[in-house]
Structure 1
Amino acid sequence: MIEVLYFAWLRERIGLPKETLDTQAATVMDLVSELSSREDRYALAFSDLSALRVAVDQELAEFDAPLKDVREVAFFPPMTGG
């Protein structure tokens, strides 16, 4: 089981702040593909991966990061500083 967290406009598009999934996804990209195929709201949220960042167990990661033994995946837009 993996807890998936959605932040900012992703949460608004998907309509959930988080969910717990039983997935066989091997990488973050596999998880994105699985989520995108669920419903249109997920497909829309993940339609432009260049507008997203991902953290795996609270550490920034790439979309090819493995999910073996991972407990949490978080998706969020790039952060800006000022």
Structure 2
Amino acid sequence: MAVGSETNLNNTNAAAGQVNVLFFGQLKERLKCGKLTANIMNTLSITAFKKMLVEQNPHWQAWLEERDVLCALNQTMSSSDELVKAGDELAFFPPVTGG
């Protein structure tokens, strides 16, 4: 999969809706994916959503489960217990440093 390509991930059951997922910075480079659309059946915590992504892409585990990975839900910084629902946008990115 090329960097910036779009991928569809499907649960084994019928999906209730789609979530747009974006990856930025080093995550985008490491995962070789800039964005994807994931189908979900019901609301999931961000932690559960990441777990679903890792189940679909086991080689992503090392990077998505890092403690320092930041997340924004609908363009608002969010904690791992926030709920993701169909129609949401979820963005993951490495910590930002200033200088």
Relative to the length of structure 1, the TM-score reads 0.86
Percent of matched pairs sharing the same residue? 27
Instruction: Give the helix-richer structure, 1 or 2.
Output: 1
Deviations for 1:25-65, whole angstroms, at most 9, x for unmatched residues?
A: 511111100011122322122132x1200000000000110
Instruction: Give the strand-richer structure, 1 or 2.
Output: 2
1:3-82 matches, cutoff 5 A: 3-24=20-41, 25-48=43-66, 50-82=67-99
| Greater gyration radius | 2
Q: Which of structure 1's runs of 4+ aligned residues deviate more than 2 A?
A: none
Relative to the length of structure 2, the TM-score reads 0.73
Q: Distance in 2 between matches of 1:30 and 1:40?
A: 14
Structure 2 unaligned blocks of 5 or more: 1-17
- Summarize the Cα distance change of 1:32–1:4 in structure 2 as closer, same or farther, 3 Å threshold: same
How many residue pairs align between the two structures? 81
